[in-house]
Amino acid sequence: MTIKATATLVTNTGFRILVRPAQESDDPALTAFFEEHVTKDDLRFRFLSPILHVTQKQIEAMTHIDHRQTEDFLAFEPNSEEIIASIILAADKGMQTAEVAFSVHADYKGRGIESALLAFITEAARARGLKKLQAIEARENHCTVTLERDMGFKAKGIDGEPMLVLLEAAL
């Protein structure tokens, strides 16, 4: 099968990735991605809890979606069907603010995929008319917090959640 990309991105390291929206048929591949290629710490950072396995309900929340208010994009290497990253955009009902969260295959870290996907999802949010992006991060997730701050997100605490930080970007 050839991946029909919505976009081809080139990271700051020159690495190419194909990106397309997730589909219901991606459930098994997305499950395998989270089970086999995302570290336990990265799972904890993505889902903000110490989970050992991503549930079918969590997978379906990324793939059985309306493709407007919620969109999960999957990234692939050219000529491959293996998912190397997932980034979700989940907007409020008023389509004003959206939360973003992403995970990258452990073997593909350090290639600029995170920043390329964050820039891509920011443009997707603008195209949907959204006004603000938010990311809720574990304070100890220093790499992601730093990346998001470098990309214009402003950090602030979350009342009653000393272990989390809210990062926001106006669009």
Spans of all domains in the chain: 7-94+101-130
Token pair of 73, please?
A: 């994009």
What pTM does this model have? 0.94
> Which CATH number among 3.40.630.30, 3.60.10.10, 3.20.20.70, 3.60.110.10 corresponds to the domain 7-94+101-130?
3.40.630.30
- CA 98/CA 82 separation, integer angstroms: 27
5 — pLDDT class (breaks 50, 70, 90) = low
pLDDT digits (tens, 9 = 90+) for 57-68: 999 999 999 999
Residue 50 has pLDDT above 90, yes or no: no
What is each CA distance from 2 to 77, 81, 139, in whole angstroms? 11, 8, 39
* Least confident window among 3-7, 43-47, 110-114: 3-7
Residue 51 has pLDDT above 60, yes or no: yes
Residue 1 has pLDDT above 50, yes or no: no
